[in-house]
């Protein structure tokens, strides 16, 4: 870096006011007028980071020091020179770089580069990749400058300011002298001014230039204009024919009419911390109302767009990028990494976690919105317009975000009534039910309001009062329809004659207006309509085969005619009209070109696939659909994954690729097991068996059907299916498949509590495995053995088999589904009452699931187990986080059994926090499709919860006991809930007998709970010695680290204290009370969320009794 002028260095006060000049000769400018000249690589580095903030150090070093032995070292030395010579860090950041907040950049303020060329005349021949980047940036800025000049020119011409328009045309010509369009614009403007001689001179200059440089003649369009100028010389001066101009007020009325009531309602909802859902038919002015409403607020506003629905999180990504572009945001590294799943630019080059986005992503989104600062102050409003176009993943995320942040941030959503995804309907239902969101239906304008609208347009000779009634009848009070009618009427002259255009639909009016545009503008609009959300000027260049500069006129004409607004359609009705004007054969061709363009540039696979399908190029759609399915799976969006796989299978069938279609339909059903286990999944998997043409396909169909039945807990059907598969495998000599299906059969019989049959199936499996002994078959045998012994009540033996399974999996390099085995070990330790070990293995299961991108559904089953352990350990905050996350995900993916089981565990958590109403809500959700034992458990838990409130529970207890009566194991494990309702003598007898059974089946958590019930029953009978003997055993187990199952740990000490007081052992009773209170205060209380602190201490019945005993003593 060479000093042009000496300036005060090393002085922080000079940081304020520093300016970086990148346009023209690069330099650092100080407030005192001194400057520092930038050498080539220093200027290149600053330009790269200024125009692409977030550039990684590695990329910057590679671009600018490609021949260095140590590019990163060269970069570090350059950063040190910045610090030494300027006195501050010009660039900030560790892994990614950005310009210091204390420095302004001229290139940011002059986006079109009209102040000079980027980096002046500097050339980078020795940095090929950077030279290419710089050339692209310079070309983009030149194109932007031309676009800006063209737009200003159009505005000047529309306003009749021909002198200014001519000056702007001259600037355009200077910027691109090779453009025939620019020469012709100068000719035309001279002609309109009446200066025919200058028009002809411009033509001669163009003709000479084309001949000299290209050996070509002007285009027919230019020649036609030249002939017009020649005719003008021979004719009397005449005013050129000008098409009637549509006043700018019609394009955007200056006032918002008739919506004051709605604005007041929205502001009232916001004052009460409620979101608003604005519902209205197309054209009623939802977008305009929201735009006017949020004008004084610090707001981020984005729209859902056609095409978003096929790309998970598309709408959310648009909102996040808009927030990052417009706000100052500080993110923790972990939050940045979570958001990088959707916005890779936040952590370029980083290795992202393999698990699908879930609660961590939502927390990161919430942190971004909460921390966003606009003009130095907190963001106030988030608007999502056109919610009916938004993808389901974004809508589901939005529901959670609104639920969490509605008191800190105002939300406004807008959509058409009756449209949108199932997620949008669920969002509305859930947020309205919880009174977090108010729906607001937008009504058409009344006649008086239409009159105000027309009057506000300030069009001479237009009688607003006379026009109001017929225009209201003609358009139904729809503002957009009214404005389109006025535009058409002004263009045809009918309106000034007091007549309205024929009462066509607004679509017809828009189509008619589009036809009045120049051919190239119409063609550009049609490309934009087909491309949809993927439209860009680069795509238009590719499809239309023309440079961006040659599309400038057409682009500006579409902007001026309100067809496009920025790079999107001004209204989706305009896009629909443009699409309808395209013949199908042409539309298919454009779709194919869009798909090829996007595919070559790594575009979203889902959008590439949609274009190939619309082009009916199904052979090319297949790969894109499979890639889209993989992306959806990685995002945890199994419904979308299934849809993509189904479409890929359909495409294969259209192309005659039947074998691949079959394989894809198998994958489709496997995806359905993660998201929608309805009767349709069963029917499709059965249909696959009928379609199978080879034994291999038959076995694949049976296997996937078995997965469906198993996940639906249809045990009998699953057993029959597994046996059918085993017979087929034996017939065709597929021993490996026989063993795999045999392992599934044992597991299914065990889960169904058909213990004897499971034992017989396990013996057959051992014989089969003896015929094919290898690590794979040994692993399958270990899996089945573990489940068999687990259900049989031999938890320690089951754990050994599960650990053997994990060891074999590691030896085979097969990590798939290892989280399920770890979760099974955790469940075994829960039964043993050893919660420390159970929690350890549940956490290991979660870590294993995080590394398995296909484990999303079962991952949340693991979270349920972990939440259950955390609850019994007294870690209620962690339990709520895990269980609520799991329940939400399982409900979304329609994994019903585990969803209801998580709701049951949540109910116990809420009950211990003293939140009885929440517990009841969890226990009264629909469960008719659940196995009897789970329904019975829920009835007994609900009975215990209602009994605490003094409500009658006899019928609930009887129903619960009848539902579990068929399986002795469940009678025993649920008895801690119903024994308190039995006569004390009966309760004592059953508690002692069941406790012995629990010990023999190694369900020590249940055994401990039964000892407590025995203590309580014996005390009620006055049998104090028996009560104390049972208590001694119970407290001994607690000292060994055993936790009760289905019982709150302090109840052990409470029951003991009550029994000891009844027996006259007051000191021992006080000790137990003190132990319980110490556990409550030191272990549980730090993990109780603040919102539930009071209810935990005073509405938890056990806690209340313990504190009462302590108070009486003191």
Domain match, 258 and 186 both: no
Domain match, 977 and 1003 both: yes
Confidence of residue 239 (pLDDT cuts 50, 70, 90): very low
Cα distances (Å, whole numbers) of residue 16 to 12, 28, 326, 634: 8, 12, 22, 46
Cα dihedral 740, 743, 749, 754 in deg (nearest 10):
140
Beta bridge mates, 97: 55
Residue 619 has pLDDT above 70, yes or no: yes
What per-residue confidence (pLDDT) applies to 406? Answer: 92
Residue 351 has pLDDT above 90, yes or no: no
- Domain CATH for 263: 3.40.50.300
Whether residue 769 lies inside any domain: the answer is no
What per-residue confidence (pLDDT) applies to 342? Answer: 84
Domain match, 940 and 1010 both: yes
What is the per-residue pLDDT across 978-997, written as a single tens digit (0 to 9) for each?
999 999 999 999 999 999 99
Domain match, 954 and 1052 both: yes
Whether residue 761 lies inside any domain: the answer is no
- Residue 187's domain comprises 160-236
Terminal Cα-to-Cα distance of the chain (whole angstroms): 79
Q: CA-CA distance, 804 to 510, in Å (whole number)?
A: 71
Domain match, 279 and 342 both: yes
Domain match, 405 and 490 both: no
Q: Which of 472, 503, 534 is the last residue of a domain?
A: 503
Residue showing tokens 């290209």:
214
Domain match, 665 and 607 both: yes
* Cβ-based neighbours of 993, under 8 Å, separated by 6 or more: none
When mean pLDDT is compared across 215-224, 576-585, 613-622, 902-911, the lowest value belongs to: 215-224
Q: Which of 661, 694, 711 is the last residue of a domain?
A: 711
Whether residue 344 lies inside any domain: the answer is yes
Whether residue 889 lies inside any domain: the answer is no
Whether residue 923 lies inside any domain: the answer is no
Whether residue 590 lies inside any domain: the answer is no
Domain match, 310 and 221 both: no
What is the per-residue pLDDT across 857-883, written as a single tens digit (0 to 9) for each?
456 778 889 999 999 999 999 999 999
Domain match, 601 and 578 both: no
Confidence of residue 503 (pLDDT cuts 50, 70, 90): very low
Q: CA-CA distance, 1052 to 24, in Å (whole number)?
A: 81
Confidence of residue 50 (pLDDT cuts 50, 70, 90): confident
Highest mean pLDDT among 5-9, 49-53, 199-203, 381-385: 381-385
C-beta separation of 890 from 871 below 8 A: no
What is the per-residue pLDDT across 283-317, written as a single tens digit (0 to 9) for each?
888 988 998 899 899 999 998 888 788 788 889 99
Helix, strand, coil percentages (3-state) for the chain, rounded to 5, are 70, 5, 25
Q: Which of 711, 739, 756 is the last residue of a domain?
A: 711
Higher-pLDDT residue of 527, 634: 527
What per-residue confidence (pLDDT) applies to 670? Answer: 86
The number of domains in the chain is 7
Whether residue 557 lies inside any domain: the answer is yes
Beta bridge mates, 55: 97
* Cβ-based neighbours of 677, under 8 Å, separated by 6 or more: 708, 711, 712, 894, 895, 896
Domain match, 499 and 518 both: no
Whether residue 874 lies inside any domain: the answer is no
Residue 854 has pLDDT above 60, yes or no: no
Interhelix angle 128-158/552-560, nearest 10 degrees: 50
Domain match, 561 and 608 both: no
* Cβ-based neighbours of 1002, under 8 Å, separated by 6 or more: 793, 794, 795, 796, 831, 832
* Cβ-based neighbours of 870, under 8 Å, separated by 6 or more: 839, 876, 878, 879, 882
- Domain CATH for 217: 1.25.40.10
Domain match, 337 and 435 both: yes
């Amino acid at each position: 870096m060479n000093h042009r002028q000496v300036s005060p260095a090393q002085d922080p006060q000079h940081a304020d006011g520093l300016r970086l000049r990148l346009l023209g000769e690069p330099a650092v400018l100080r407030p005192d007028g001194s400057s520092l000249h930038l050498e080539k690589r220093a200027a290149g580095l600053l330009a790269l980071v200024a125009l692409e903030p977030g550039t990684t150090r590695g990329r910057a070093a590679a671009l600018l020091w490609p021949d260095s032995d140590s590019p990163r070292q060269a970069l570090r030395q350059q950063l040190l020179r910045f610090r030494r010579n300027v006195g501050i860090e010009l660039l900030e950041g560790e892994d990614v770089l950005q310009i210091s907040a204390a420095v302004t950049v001229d290139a940011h303020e002059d986006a079109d580069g009209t102040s000079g060329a980027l980096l002046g005349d500097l050339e980078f021949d020795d940095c090929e990749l950077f030279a290419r980047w710089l050339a692209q940036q310079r070309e983009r800025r030149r194109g932007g400058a031309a676009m800006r000049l063209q737009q200003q020119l159009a505005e000047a011409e529309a306003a009749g300011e021909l002198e200014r328009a001519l000056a702007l045309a001259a600037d355009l010509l200077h910027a691109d002298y090779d453009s025939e369009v620019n020469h012709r614009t100068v000719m035309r403007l001279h002609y309109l001014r009446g200066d025919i001689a200058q028009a002809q001179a411009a033509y001669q200059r163009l003709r000479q230039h084309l001949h000299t440089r290209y050996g070509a003649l002007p285009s027919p369009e230019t020649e036609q204009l030249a002939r017009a100028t020649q005719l003008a010389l021979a004719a009397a001066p005449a005013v050129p024919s000008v098409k009637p101009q549509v006043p700018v007020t019609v394009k955007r009325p200056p006032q918002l009419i008739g919506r004051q009531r709605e604005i007041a309602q929205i502001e009232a909802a916001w004052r009460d911390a409620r979101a608003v859902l604005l519902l209205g038919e197309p054209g009623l002015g939802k977008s305009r109302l929201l735009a006017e409403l949020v004008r004084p607020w610090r707001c981020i506003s984005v729209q859902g767009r056609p095409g978003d629905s096929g790309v998970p999180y598309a709408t959310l990504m648009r909102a996040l990028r808009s927030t990052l572009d417009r706000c100052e945001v500080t993110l923790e590294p972990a939050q940045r990494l979570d958001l990088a799943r959707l916005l890779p630019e936040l952590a370029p080059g980083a290795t992202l976690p393999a698990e699908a986005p879930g609660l961590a992503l939502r927390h990161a989104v919430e942190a971004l919105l909460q921390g966003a600062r606009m003009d130095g102050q907190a963001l106030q409003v988030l608007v999502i317009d056109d919610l009916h176009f938004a993808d389901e993943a974004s809508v589901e995320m939005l529901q959670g975000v609104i639920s969490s942040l509605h008191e800190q941030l105002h939300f406004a959503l807008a959509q058409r009534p009756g449209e949108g995804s199932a997620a949008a309907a669920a969002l509305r239902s859930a947020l309205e039910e919880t009174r977090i969101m108010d729906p607001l239906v937008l009504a058409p304008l009344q006649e008086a309001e239409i009159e105000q609208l027309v009057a506000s347009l300030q069009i001479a000779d237009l009688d607003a009062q006379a026009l109001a009634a017929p225009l209201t009848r003609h358009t139904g009070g729809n503002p957009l329809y009214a404005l389109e009618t006025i535009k058409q009427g002004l263009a045809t002259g009918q309106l000034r004659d007091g007549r309205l255009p024929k009462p066509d639909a607004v679509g017809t009016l828009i189509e008619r207006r589009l036809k009045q545009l120049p051919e190239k503008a119409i063609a550009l609009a049609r490309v934009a309509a087909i491309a949809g959300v993927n439209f860009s000027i680069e795509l238009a260049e590719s499809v239309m085969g023309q440079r961006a500069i040659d599309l400038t006129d057409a682009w500006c004409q579409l902007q001026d005619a309100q067809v496009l607004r920025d790079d999107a359609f001004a209204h989706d009705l305009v896009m629909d009209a443009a699409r309808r004007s395209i013949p199908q054969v042409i539309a298919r061709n454009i779709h194919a070109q869009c798909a090829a363009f996007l595919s070559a540039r790594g575009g979203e696979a889902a959008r590439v696939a949609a274009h190939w399908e619309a082009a009916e190029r199904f052979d090319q759609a297949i790969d894109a659909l499979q890639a889209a399915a993989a992306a959806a799976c990685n995002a945890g969006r199994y419904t979308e994954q299934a849809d993509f796989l189904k479409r890929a299978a359909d495409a294969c069938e259209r192309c005659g690729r039947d074998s691949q279609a079959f394989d894809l339909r198998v994958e489709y059903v496997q995806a359905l097991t993660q998201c929608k286990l309805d009767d349709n999944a069963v029917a499709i998997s059965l249909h696959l068996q009928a379609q199978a043409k080879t034994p291999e396909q038959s076995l694949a169909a049976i296997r996937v059907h078995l997965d469906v039945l198993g996940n639906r807990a249809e045990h009998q059907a699953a057993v029959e299916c597994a046996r059918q598969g085993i017979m087929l495998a034996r017939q065709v000599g597929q021993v490996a498949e026989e063993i795999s299906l045999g392992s599934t059969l044992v597991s299914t019989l065990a889960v169904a509590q058909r213990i004897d049959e499971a034992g017989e199936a396990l013996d057959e499996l051992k014989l089969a495995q003896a015929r094919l002994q290898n690590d794979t078959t040994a692993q399958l045998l270990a899996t089945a053995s573990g489940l068999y012994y687990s259900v049989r009540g031999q938890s320690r033996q089951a754990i050994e088999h599960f650990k053997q399974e994990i060891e074999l999996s590691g030896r085979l390099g097969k990590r798939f589904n290892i989280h399920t085995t770890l979760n099974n070990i955790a469940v075994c330790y829960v039964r043993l009452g050893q919660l420390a070990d159970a929690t350890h293995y549940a956490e290991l299961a979660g870590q294993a699931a995080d590394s398995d991108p296909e484990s999303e559904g079962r991952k949340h089953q693991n979270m349920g187990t972990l939440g259950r352990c955390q609850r019994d350990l007294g870690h209620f905050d962690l339990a709520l986080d895990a269980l609520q996350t799991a329940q939400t995900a399982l409900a979304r993916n329609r994994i019903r059994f585990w969803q209801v089981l998580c709701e049951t565990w949540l109910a116990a958590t809420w009950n211990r926090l003293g939140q009885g109403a929440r517990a009841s809500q969890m226990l009264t959700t629909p469960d008719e499709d659940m196995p009897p034992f789970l329904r019975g458990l829920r009835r007994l838990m609900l009975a215990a919860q209602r009994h605490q409130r003094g409500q009658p529970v006899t019928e609930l207890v009887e129903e619960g006991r009848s539902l579990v009566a068929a399986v002795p194991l469940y009678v025993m494990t649920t008895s801690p809930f119903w024994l308190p309702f039995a006569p004390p003598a009966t309760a004592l007898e059953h508690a002692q007998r069941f406790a012995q059974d629990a010990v023999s089946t190694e369900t020590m958590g249940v055994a401990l709970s039964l000892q407590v019930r025995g203590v309580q029953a014996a005390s009620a009978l006055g049998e104090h010695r028996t009560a104390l003997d049972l208590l001694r055993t119970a407290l001994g187990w607690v000292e060994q680290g055993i936790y009760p199952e289905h019982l709150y740990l302090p109840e052990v000490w409470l029951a003991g204290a009550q029994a000891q007081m009844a027996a006259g052992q007051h000191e021992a009773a006080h000790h137990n009370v003190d132990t319980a209170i110490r556990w409550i205060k030191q272990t549980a209380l730090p993990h109780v969320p603040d919102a539930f602190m009071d209810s935990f201490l005073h509405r938890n019945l056990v806690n209340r009794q313990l504190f009462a005993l302590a108070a009486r003593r003191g």
